[in-house]
Amino acid sequence: MWASEHGRLRNNNRTRGVICAVTTSEKAPALTIYSTTWCGYCRRLKTQLNASGIEYTEIDIEDNPSAAEFVGSVNDGNHIVPTVKYADGSVATNPSLNQVKAALGL
């Protein structure tokens, strides 16, 4: 667990309108997943990341207008989820678990 930007401890449970994190370390996770509650591809990726022990921050673009704007800016104006942003600033749209692992050097 780690403290969100609002100072609340977060785990892999969703909280409306708040950035959540799945981590056991004191530093922020190496990737951020932009998602929605209804997205099957998002659920699949999060399930795979959890099973692999890969930590991430999740942001629901329907509850966070600036996140939705970011997702649109990297997807030619489309709000495609999951969109993943890595710590180095690179972005992937609907990546596979293997693509995420490769980007993280795992």
> In the chain, what percentage of residues exceed pLDDT 70?
74
Tell me: pLDDT of 94 over 60: yes
What pLDDT score does 29 carry?
77
- 71/9: higher pLDDT: 71
Contact 35, 59 (CB under 8 A): yes
What pLDDT score does 59 carry?
96
What pLDDT score does 27 carry?
63
Q: How many domains does the chain have?
A: 1
**Mean pLDDT for the chain overall:** 82
Q: Name the token pair of 29.
A: 């996770």
Ramachandran quadrant class, 38 (left: phi over 0; alpha: psi -120 to 50; beta: rest): alpha
CATH number at residue 88: 3.40.30.10
| R_g of the chain computed on alpha carbons | 13
pTM, two decimals, is 0.74
Strands of the sheet containing 31-35, edge to edge, are 20-22, 56-60, 31-35, 83-86, 91-93
pLDDT digit string, tens, across residues 8-45: 434 444 444 444 444 445 566 789 999 999 999 999 99
Q: Which domain holds residue 7?
A: 2-104
Contact 40, 33 (CB under 8 A): no
Q: What's the sign of the alpha-carbon dihedral 83, 23, 45, 92?
A: positive
